[in-house]
Structure 1
Amino acid sequence: MFGGKHITGDFRSFLGTVFTYVASSGSLLISSAAQLATFAILARWLGVDEFSLFVAITAICSVALHLCGLGAMETLVRRVARDTSAYPVMLGHNLILTGISGVILVAAGAVVLPFLFKLSDNPVLNLVFIVAMLVTNIVLVRLIVLTEQIFIGRSEFGTANKVVVGFAVARTAAAVLACVIFDVSTTGQWAVWQLACHILVALVCFRILMRLGRPEFRIVREEIMNGIYFSVPFILRAARQNVDLLVLSLVSTAEIVSSYSVARRMLESSYLSVEALNRLIYPGSARASAGGLHQMVERVKKVLAAATLISIAAAIGVFIIAPLLPYLFGHDYVSLVSFVRLMCWIVILLAIWSVAVEALGASGNHAYRGTVMSLGSLFGAVLTAWASWYAPPTGTIVSLYVVEFAMVVASWLVLVHVIRKSKGSAAEARLLREARP
């Protein structure tokens, strides 16, 4: 009788997790579809040359985005998942670091980028357009994503999903309004529309967060290094992910750069199904690992199996729909289908190593996590840059597979090492307790 109740309880818990994952992945898939629609609209209306310019500036902003806030967002999720009363302090910690780093990054970009990109013949207008893109894609995106992460830390996944979907739909609506209705056809013009859209979304996020209470503005000093350990790998990874675009822009045509960029976006979109699992699992993993990483070995195994199956399904799905993409993005992107079909299987390798680094992160082992991701990104950046220069674009794609496979091997070797270390520490602590009179 009691065994039956236990089984029923486990089954209900399993169903609850499945339904939560479906909602989480559904929101990310809707968000991904909206982002692809936005990307497609911009690709069609801006044209190959303007779109490649937009992609180049956005690539630089994506690197700076991970610098903004110095990784404080992960600290908030981890600390709030364990103790919701930490929210006011962790929110204030985030806002301070985001504000300071955001101002520095935008100012630096405003000084350097006008010499590299020309969005207008008028120097003043060119600066205005570039600053608009910097503020939008660094500061405002960071604040909007922070809102989503706050609700994930509080395990309010429904609200987090609404933020994700609302943000994506808002950007698509802005693209439709700007390009289709008002015939925007340059990156500079789109920068203004994009800024206005993000400001409105940020105001809505502010309104939503008001119900959770006011922030307590102070720096949590002991979490600064954890935040840096968390952010540096993503900064280096973003650099690695964009060095191929920068090198290809030097040695290939605008069509190759644009088609490759769209293929990369498809790869990122297919990974969202795995990210949905990781974002659902992370708060629970943070709680489960409070007593040591060895406490969540079985949990990690289950997540690995699920992530692998999900990524295989995603890769197959992208491979099947690839021939339809020219109808969405335009037939000027002649290399798009071949790029997508060659790159879609990378998501499986991404999924496998992401499980390992997420487990390290959730358990607070950011030094190990940061080392793996940082060294992998440095190795990947050098290899991808060389391969893209030596044999574009085939060398670029081959290098991606080599780098991601190396990340699988390195991340899991480190995770196994940390689990063994955690077990040893727990055993020593138990022996000490038993030895006490």
Structure 2
Amino acid sequence: MAFGYRIPWRKIDKADRMSSEGLTESRGYKPFLPMILSYVASGGSLVLGSAAQLLTFAILARFLGVDEFSVFVAITAVASIAVHLCGLGAMECLVRRVARDRTIYPEMLGHNILLTSVSGLALMLAGAVALPFFFTLSPDPLANFAVIALMLVTNIVLVRVIVLAEQIFIAHSDFASANKVVVGFAVARTVAAALACLAFGVSTVASWAVWQFICHVLVAAACLWAIKSLGAPRYRIVREELPQGLYFSIPFILRALRQNADLLVLSLVTTAEIVSSYSVARRMLESSFLSVEALNRLIYPGSARMTTAGLHHALQRVLRVLGAATGISLAAGLTVFALAPVLPYLFGQEYVSLVGFVRGLAWVVVPLAIWSVAVEALGASGYHAARATVMGLGSIAGAGLAAAASWYAPPAGTFVSFYLIEIAMVVATWSVFLRFVRRDRERAAREFPVGIVHGS
């Protein structure tokens, strides 16, 4: 035993061992009923938020037209890569650490603010210098620089601040407030797009950038006010979380690169209509995945607590989540497939490839949901190095495959590569997850052997 004391004439049974190590997995499904109710609320909020985002996308696509919209999509794609680097993964550390010990919240909030400010400024300046060589939003070079810088501040720094507020509420298990952030943000963008395009006739990316910036500033200010009551930050860098944060963020950066490699290549070898229609199809895929993301974000704090003493404690929990995520993703894919013919009425008849593209990508959400469950479990248990390795290597290989397939056989090759990549990720992530479950179980067995009779 840990203190050199032997328990006379007694076996250390499984219950003793599990209680010594930490939390145990609840049996049956009754403990999950409150979580199911929370999922309904969380999933409903994300569905509403997704619908609002889709409407925003539709308004912009219709009023900007395929040429301007394709430029907007390209700059947004660059920002979507950079936003994962902004903050250097500090948000995950906040959720994981605060879910286990809320007294550390001030330090983790200060850690996030410092890293988000420094990295956000660096990313914005780098992008504002580089992107004007590739995109022209205004004939005046100075105005072109200013518009691109404004878009980067909006889509990197301000988006990160808003998402941070959502994650803070999740870390405190206040899912109702987190849902309000998601829905409020989505609705605010829809209102801004409707006012800009329908009321004021905005038809260029340069004009929309100003409206988008104002919208994000107002939402970010509301989020900062909402989290004010949770406590003031204590500004310091939590050094031990720096590598963990990088391990967490790098896979998402590489995955964003992989997801945009095909879009970049298509923009070189196909028309603006195909690029625009494909980007809408991708947005539909992301929207359908939100139903699974709602489940993952509810599970994460509890999994972080349960895996404190080993990933094997949460195995049954993760398998139940896998079953639920698979069913949810199948329903989401079927819904998107069935509703695809309606989209041209929303986005405009210019997008002639839209229905076929959306239906072609509709079922990618199933393997995506399956492997996301495994990586979320690895993240919750703190195995970020392994998680980063499998996601990073998969993204690097996937980027190469997607780019090559899109170059040699556009756009059919793009769709085939999408499915091949996601199926390969299912095999890779679950192999790594099960290996760590087995390792933790074996380590626990060595430290707390079962069936050993101790003498006096």
How much does 1:15 deviate? 2.8
Partner residue in 1 for 2:20:
none
How much does 1:10 deviate? 7.1
Matched, 1:53 2:71: yes
3-state DSSP of counterpart to 2:135: coil
Residue by residue over 1:236-260, the C-alpha shift from the partner in whole angstroms, topping out at 9 and shown as x without a partner, is 0000001111100000000000000
* C-alpha separation in 1, matches of 2:128 and 2:409: 34
Which residue identity does 1:80 align to in structure 2?
Answer: V
* C-alpha separation in 2, matches of 1:174 and 1:122: 26
Matched, 1:378 2:396: yes
Q: Which runs of 5+ in 1 are unaligned?
A: 1-8
Partner residue in 2 for 1:342:
360
Which residue identity does 1:122 align to in structure 2?
Answer: D
Partner residue in 1 for 2:4:
none
Partner of residue 74 from structure 1, selected from 73, 79, 92? 92
Matches of residues 174-323 of structure 1 in structure 2 within 5 Å? 174-323=192-341
Partner residue in 1 for 2:383:
365
Which residue identity does 1:335 align to in structure 2?
Answer: S
Residue by residue over 1:263-319, the C-alpha shift from the partner in whole angstroms, topping out at 9 and shown as x without a partner, is 000000000000000001000100111110000110011000000000000000000
* C-alpha separation in 2, matches of 1:161 and 1:309: 22
How much does 1:436 deviate? 11
* C-alpha separation in 1, matches of 2:339 and 2:307: 40
* C-alpha separation in 1, matches of 2:145 and 2:345: 35
Partner of residue 419 from structure 2, selected from 367, 391, 401? 401
Residue by residue over 1:55-114, the C-alpha shift from the partner in whole angstroms, topping out at 9 and shown as x without a partner, is 000000000000100000000000010011111000000000000100100010111011
Matched, 1:31 2:49: yes
CA RMSD of aligned residues (A): 1.5
* C-alpha separation in 2, matches of 1:425 and 1:130: 52
* C-alpha separation in 2, matches of 1:295 and 1:147: 30
How much does 1:14 deviate? 3.3
* C-alpha separation in 1, matches of 2:68 and 2:321: 41
Q: Which runs of 5+ in 2 are unaligned?
A: 1-26
* C-alpha separation in 1, matches of 2:413 and 2:215: 38
How much does 1:431 deviate? 3.9
* C-alpha separation in 2, matches of 1:33 and 1:71: 28
* C-alpha separation in 2, matches of 1:181 and 1:87: 43
Partner residue in 2 for 1:5:
none
* C-alpha separation in 2, matches of 1:212 and 1:14: 27
Matches of residues 89-238 of structure 1 in structure 2 within 5 Å? 89-238=107-256
Partner of residue 405 from structure 2, selected from 367, 387, 408? 387
Partner residue in 2 for 1:355:
373
How much does 1:13 deviate? 3.8
3-state DSSP of counterpart to 1:221: coil
Which residue identity does 1:18 align to in structure 2?
Answer: I
* C-alpha separation in 2, matches of 1:297 and 1:67: 30
* C-alpha separation in 1, matches of 2:127 and 2:455: 60
Higher relative contact order structure (alpha carbons within 8 Å, sequence separation ≥ 6): 2
Partner residue in 2 for 1:83:
101
Residue by residue over 1:112-135, the C-alpha shift from the partner in whole angstroms, topping out at 9 and shown as x without a partner, is 011110000111111111001000
How much does 1:11 deviate? 6.8
- Identity, % of aligned pairs? 65
* C-alpha separation in 1, matches of 2:252 and 2:31: 33
How much does 1:425 deviate? 1.1
Q: Which has the larger radius of gyration?
A: 2
Partner residue in 1 for 2:3:
none
Partner residue in 2 for 1:333:
351
Partner residue in 2 for 1:421:
439
How much does 1:12 deviate? 5.9
3-state DSSP of counterpart to 2:306: helix
* C-alpha separation in 1, matches of 2:347 and 2:33: 38
How many positions carry a matched residue from both structures?
429
3-state DSSP of counterpart to 2:240: helix
Partner residue in 1 for 2:14:
none
* C-alpha separation in 2, matches of 1:17 and 1:10: 13
* C-alpha separation in 1, matches of 2:332 and 2:369: 11
How much does 1:213 deviate? 1.2
3-state DSSP of counterpart to 1:331: coil
3-state DSSP of counterpart to 1:345: helix
3-state DSSP of counterpart to 1:185: coil
Partner residue in 1 for 2:23:
none
Partner residue in 2 for 1:4:
none
* C-alpha separation in 1, matches of 2:30 and 2:55: 37
* C-alpha separation in 1, matches of 2:195 and 2:119: 32
Give every structure 1 segment of 4 or more consecutive aligned residues whose post-TM-superposition deviation is greater than 3 Å. 9-14, 434-437
Which residue identity does 1:78 align to in structure 2?
Answer: R
* C-alpha separation in 2, matches of 1:199 and 1:243: 30
Which residue identity does 2:333 align to in structure 1?
Answer: A
3-state DSSP of counterpart to 1:184: coil
How much does 1:19 deviate? 1.0
